Amino acid sequence: AITESSWHASAEESQEQDNALEVSEEEISHRTKRWTSKEASNSGSMLSITLKDDSLMRATHIGHVLTGCGRYLKAMSLQDHALTVDKAEAMFVKSREVSEIDYFISHCWMDGRLSKVCALWIHSNLAGAFFCSACIAIPAASLRAAGILPVNPNRHVTEVNSVPYALTTGSIAFLCGLAFWHHVPVALGRRHRYFFDKFCVHQADPEIKKKAVASFGAFVLHSRRLLLLWSPTYFTRLWCTLEIAALCKGTSGDDTEDYKLPLDFLPLRLAKVSCSAWLVFTCIYWFLQIWRLMHFVNTSYIDLAVL
């Protein structure tokens, strides 16, 4: 009996604690909503993942983003006079209204533009670079095998009697394709729609800019994929975190086991190192081949190692 009464007393005490906890949670929730509404009213905008104005959703193509080796990828604003009203108007007209976005470029303005250019090159041009390299290297190798292309007249006894046309021409074609392939789909009319805030948000109209910035979450949900240009400073920026949160919120309804977020993750440092390595390799290899043709060094073993 004593044990049963003690159990009932403990149960009643636990129930009272649960009720108190529920009251506290309700009070906290109420205060949070009130604070959020107050902050939103003070800022003049309410962040939402619902698109309220279809005319705000715009997109451009990757050729505009990479213009001038990505000169628009560096931070600029009207306050520091790096951006003028005329430049802002010129950038805005390079975008157009769309019903859907193919790639939402999510990045941090604190990162350098060179790393972003390398990441966008790899994302949009890598397949084209391999295609260009193959289109040049295979015919070069075939012409050499047919005896049409000349051989190296100055050779050592142990040296392979050939010039590595496939490697030399293929490496140059790869770099050219990596830097310029994005112009090919644009010329053919197959333009992927990229959301890049500097082009798709009017930088000189404060009212339109405020509405567009408040709709970033909705833009993410209307994008087929989110292109995340990651760096260690990425999640220190509130807007970057908001874009990822909107992506997770909008896709949280899919509970399938094999479901993956529509996210393309590109580390900026890795992209920069990769492009630098390809460039350094090509330069060193070409230097060795020129040295070889001048009859200063035997590079046959280097050619075989590369193959």
Amino acid 120: pLDDT:
96
- Pick the more confident residue, 58 or 164: 58
pLDDT of 87 reads 87
Over pLDDT 90: what percentage of the chain? 42
Asked if pLDDT for residue 34 goes beyond 50, the answer is: no
Rounded to an integer, what distance in angstroms lies between the CA atom of residue 62 and that of residue 183? 9
**How confident is the model over 217-249, as pLDDT tens digits?**
999 999 999 999 999 999 999 889 999 999 988
**Whole-structure pTM value:** 0.76
Considering only CA atoms, which of 269, 258, 305 is closest in space to residue 284?
Answer: 305
Q: With cut-offs at 50, 70 and 90, classify the pLDDT of residue 291.
A: confident
**For the chain, first and last CA: distance in Å?**
87
Model confidence at 168, pLDDT cuts 50, 70, 90, reads confident
pLDDT at 189 over 60: yes
pLDDT at residue 303, rounded to an integer: 57
Contact 121, 270 (CB under 8 A): no
What is the secondary structure of 95-135 as a DSSP string? -EE-S-EEEEEE--TTS-HHHHHHHHHHHHHHHHHHHHHHH
**Residue 271 has what pLDDT?**
96
pLDDT given at position 305 = 56
* Lowest mean pLDDT, pick from 39-48, 114-123, 223-232, 243-252: 39-48
DSSP state of 60: B
Residue 258: DSSP 8-state:
T
Lowest mean pLDDT segment, chosen from 55-59, 212-216, 301-305: 301-305
Q: How many CB atoms lie within 10 A of CB 304?
A: 10
What pLDDT does residue 7 have? 41
Which residues in 163-175 are b (16+ Cβ under 10 Å) and which e? Answer: bbbbbbbbbbbbb
Angle of helix 268-293 versus helix 113-145 axis, rounded to 10: 40
**Are 140 and 166 contacting, i.e. CB atoms less than 8 angstroms apart?**
yes
Q: Token pair for residue 80?
A: 């520091």
Res 73 pLDDT > 50: yes
What does residue 100 show for φ and ψ, rounded to 5 degrees?
Answer: -155, 150
Nearest Cα to 250, choosing from 110, 30, 98, 101?
101
Tell me the per-residue pLDDT of 140-162, one tens digit each, with 9 for 90 and over.
888 888 878 776 555 554 444 45
What is the distance between the alpha carbons of residues 40 and 56, in angstroms, rounded to a whole number? Answer: 20
Distance in angstroms (rounded) separating the CA atoms of residues 210 and 69: 29
Separation between Cα atoms, residue 103 and residue 59, nearest integer Å: 9
Q: Which two tokens stand for residue 201?
A: 């948000």
Cα–Cα distance for residue pair 124/129, rounded to 1 Å: 10
Tokens, residue 111: 């990162």
Indicate the range of 63-67, 122-126, 281-285 predicted with least confidence: 281-285
